[in-house]
Chains A and B, each alone.
Chain A
Amino acid sequence: LAKTTQPISMDSYEGQEVNITCSHNNIATNDYITWYQQFPSQGPRFIIQGYKTKVTNEVASLFIPADRKSSTLSLPRVSLSDTAVYYCLVGDIPQAGTALIFGKGTTLSVSS
């Protein structure tokens, strides 16, 4: 599994766009990049996944440059409810049921 590095914490204000960058210099050809979000007192939940270029869903966008050595999770116009820990995970799309390895994540604090 490729090692990932992301900031320990970030602060933002409501309405701003937040970009969280994850470094994964040793990403392998078959690896995908997945982000999970964890609210206080809850389990993590999947938010987005990509392989290259850009992926967008109703929650976030994921930008992956051509060399794939990093990725950026973009949260548009954050609100107080986006305060959470965001985890970047890199690994091969596995057979169903392969374990995930979580790092420490990035704690995002959104203030009014």
Chain B
Amino acid sequence: DAGVIQSPRHEVTEMGQEVTLRCKPISGHNSLFWYRQTMMRGLELLIYFNNNVPIDDSGMPEDRFSAKMPNASFSTLKIQPSEPRDSAVYFCASTPPTAHVYNEQFFGPGTRLTVL
């Protein structure tokens, strides 16, 4: 089975540009998470969805960040306008509805974003 799919794998953009990161969770999974990882701050949760509904977006750094999950198989994380401090690796993860025994999250390969 395919794992969590993220695109693009690498993104280089200039400050002020809009950036859209995409995620396809594992089929059948009903929870989706967006994380950001930097050397300074480690791995931070940005937002997560249950059954396509945003549950907790308190980790979203500011209004420049937005996330959507229009259906069970697709989510986007948008940054508009982007700033150099947004440079990081962005991970998407998903869990199936029966994962609660282990709360095992399945992570994608990440998108490395560089904002110049």
Interface of A toward B, CB cutoff 8 Å: 32, 34, 38, 41-46, 49, 87, 91, 93-105
Chain B residues near A103 (CB, 8 Å)?
Answer: 42
- Contact check, A44 vs B31: say whether CB atoms are below 8 A apart: no
Interface of B toward A, CB cutoff 8 Å: 4, 30-31, 33, 35, 42-45, 48, 50, 55-56, 91, 93, 95-110
Chain B residues near A100 (CB, 8 Å)?
Answer: 33, 45, 103, 105
- Contact check, A45 vs B48: say whether CB atoms are below 8 A apart: no
- Contact check, A93 vs B105: say whether CB atoms are below 8 A apart: no
Q: Pick the residue among A38, A43, A93, A102 that contacts B103 (CB under 8 A).
A: A93
Q: Pick the residue among B31, B42, B56, B107 that contacts A96 (CB under 8 A).
A: B31
- Contact check, B91 vs A98: say whether CB atoms are below 8 A apart: no
Chain A residues near B107 (CB, 8 Å)?
Answer: 42-45
Q: Assuming A97-B31, A105-B42, what are 9 further A-B pairs, CB within 8 angstroms?
A: A38-B43, A42-B109, A43-B110, A46-B102, A94-B103, A96-B50, A97-B50, A102-B35, A103-B42
- Closest B residue to A42 by beta carbon equals B109
- Closest B residue to A44 by beta carbon equals B107
CB B88 to nearest CB in A, in angstroms, measures 13
Chain A residues near B45 (CB, 8 Å)?
Answer: 99-102
Give 7 closest A-B pairs by Cβ, nearest first: A43-B107, A97-B31, A102-B43, A46-B104, A97-B50, A96-B100, A43-B91
CB A22 to nearest CB in B, in angstroms, measures 15
Query: Can you list 12 A-B pairs with a CB-CB distance of less than 8 A?
Result: A32-B103, A34-B102, A41-B110, A42-B110, A43-B110, A49-B102, A91-B103, A96-B30, A97-B95, A102-B35, A105-B42, A105-B43
A41–B98 Cα distance when bound, in Å, is 28
A96–B44 Cα distance when bound, in Å, is 19
Q: Pick the residue among A93, A98, A102, A105 that contacts B101 (CB under 8 A).
A: A93
Chain B residues near A99 (CB, 8 Å)?
Answer: 33, 45, 48, 56
- Contact check, A97 vs B48: say whether CB atoms are below 8 A apart: yes
